[in-house]
C-alpha cells in the first residue's frame, strides 16, 4: 500500500508532486464550507452553541485545507522552490 501511494506522488520526469494534486485539498475546502454553512443554519435553528462551535471547527479545517491547497499548488508548479 505504501509503495502504491508513493508511486502516485512521483512522476516519470522527476517531479515529486503531480500537477493536479492540489485539487484534493481544494475539494476538501469546498465540502467543509458546505458543511459549515449547513451546520451553522442548523445551530441557529436549534439554538445550539455546541453545534455552532462544531460549525466553526469545520470552517477552521477548511482554512487549513486552503493553506494545503496553496502549498501543494506552489510545490507542483514550482518544484525548484519547494
pLDDT of the residue at 14: 57
Reference 33, options 63, 3, 10, 13; nearest CA is 63
What is the reported pTM? Answer: 0.76
Q: What is the pLDDT along the chain (82 residues), one digit of tens a residue?
A: 666 666 655 544 555 778 888 999 999 999 999 999 999 999 999 999 999 999 999 999 999 999 999 999 998 888 887 6
Which residues have a Cβ under 8 Å from the Cβ of 58 and sit 6 or more positions away? 32, 33, 35, 36, 39
CB-based burial, 40-55: b 16+ in 10 Å, e otherwise:
beebeeeeeeebbebb
Running DSSP on this structure, what letter comes out for residue 18? Answer: -
Amino acid at each position: 500500500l505504501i509503495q502504491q501511494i508513493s508511486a502516485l506522488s512521483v512522476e516519470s520526469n522527476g517531479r515529486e508532486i503531480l500537477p493536479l494534486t492540489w485539487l484534493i485539498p481544494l475539494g476538501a475546502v469546498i465540502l467543509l464550507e458546505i458543511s459549515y454553512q449547513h451546520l451553522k443554519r442548523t445551530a441557529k435553528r436549534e439554538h445550539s452553541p455546541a453545534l455552532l462551535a462544531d460549525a466553526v471547527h469545520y470552517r477552521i479545517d477548511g482554512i487549513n485545507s486552503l493553506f494545503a491547497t496553496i502549498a501543494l499548488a506552489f510545490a507542483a508548479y514550482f518544484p525548484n522552490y519547494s
